[in-house]
Amino acid sequence: MKLILNALIIVMLGAILGLGSAAAVLESSLLDDTQRIGPWRTGPLQALGDGNPYAAARLARSGAVPLGAAEGVSLVAEADSEGAALDPACHYAVEGGLVWADLWTLTVDDHDGRLPENPAGRFGFTSRDVLREASDRFRVTLGRTARPGNFVPTGSLASLRLTLRIYDTDAAARLAGETELPTIRRSECP
């Protein structure tokens, strides 16, 4: 009887440790082969081309549809250009050019993918609707209080993440070289 009880404890402990470690790996992006460019990192979905099994499992679990290499690249920022974590209560300026990209989108959500609730119904900008400076550069501000120009309200988000999708056939190749991506600068915090 004692032998059966010990075997049962070992099986239960193995199952708990095995399932727990699998869940921890799927929740963490530590094992992703992501490329970092300033505050931006290639999303875990871009790692699929490298045969990353963790990225493939995360994709299957989320049900998200990644951009193919011929379609473009998806970049995610959860920190500003100084390395501080993005805080939804603060205001930020996302500035850059991206003149080489045919089409891009910049969206705001939280770490669970929820969009901000706001009366404007604004969750981001595209290269087609963003107001640009004379030098073809743009500035998008985000925060809880309205600002003039290109503004995205963060509403009552508990966390903050920016996703930049560049729809360009050679975007992945450009990222490997010296590419100018937008900076993320904190402008004020309450």
Domain membership flag for residue 141 = yes
Domain membership flag for residue 16 = no
Domain membership flag for residue 84 = yes
61 to 9, 58, 109: CA distances (angstroms): 30, 5, 19
How many distinct structural domains can be found in the chain?
Answer: 1
Q: Return d(Cα 161, Cα 79) in angstroms, integer.
A: 8
- Give mean pLDDT in consecutive 10-residue pieces for the chain, a chain of 190 residues: 87 88 69 74 58 67 62 89 95 89 91 86 93 91 93 92 87 68 91
* Mean pLDDT of all residues belonging to the chain: 83
Residues 24-75 pLDDT 10s: 766 665 555 567 788 998 865 554 555 667 766 766 665 666 666 667 888 8
Question: For the whole model, what pTM was predicted?
Answer: 0.77
Domain membership flag for residue 125 = yes
DSSP state letter for 79: B
Cβ distance 59 to 52 under 8 Å?
no
DSSP state letter for 99: T
pLDDT at 98 (0 to 100): 82
* CA proximity to 79, closest of 66, 90, 68: 90
Cβ distance 94 to 183 under 8 Å?
yes
Domain membership flag for residue 123 = yes
The token pair at 99 is 């003149």
- Compute φ and ψ for 52, nearest 5 degrees: -75, 115
pLDDT at 112 (0 to 100): 85
Note down the domain range covering 175: 34-43+70-188
The residues pairing with 139 across neighbouring beta strands, listed in sequence order, are 95
| CATH at residue 108 | 2.60.120.600
Domain membership flag for residue 4 = no
* Neighbour tally for 128: CB within 10 Å: 8
Q: Return d(Cα 80, Cα 141) in angstroms, integer.
A: 13
CB-based contacts of 123, cutoff 8 Å, min separation 6? 107, 108, 109, 115, 116, 152
Domain membership flag for residue 133 = yes
pLDDT at 108 (0 to 100): 96
Domain membership flag for residue 8 = no
